Amino acid sequence: MIVRYLEAAIAKAIYEKLEDGTFAGRIPACPGVLAFANTQRGCQIELRSVLEDWVLVGLQLSDTLPVIDGIDLNKKAANESLASL
């Protein structure tokens, strides 16, 4: 599920070429997820890395993450007793 979430978020990324010729990328639905690099491909790679870290930290801290394309990482897993297995 996390991989699908990452792919859906990256698909919504916005990239801009800056005045100095470098690139900036951001994902509007994910506050603070932004990256800079010399090439657009490098920016895409860096943005994915930033997004992965952002999601992992958010999950660890129990932050509410945005629902992207219907993928909700905020749902808590249901605990089943061992007897039901």
pLDDT for residue 84 is more than 90: no
Between 68 and 80, where is the model more confident? 68
**Which of 77, 55, 51 shows the shortest CA–CA distance to 65?**
55
Q: Are 43 and 25 in contact (CB under 8 A)?
A: yes
Q: For residue range 15-44, what is the model confidence (pLDDT) as tens digits?
A: 999 999 999 999 999 999 999 999 999 999
**Which of 71, 52, 69, 75 shows the shortest CA–CA distance to 12?**
69
C-alpha span between 48 and 25 (Å, rounded): 10
pTM of the model: 0.85
- Retrieve residue 39's tokens: 């090439």
C-alpha span between 57 and 39 (Å, rounded): 27
Pick the CATH number of 1-11+21-68 from 2.30.42.10, 3.40.50.10330, 3.30.160.250, 3.30.530.20: 3.30.160.250
pLDDT for residue 59 is more than 70: yes
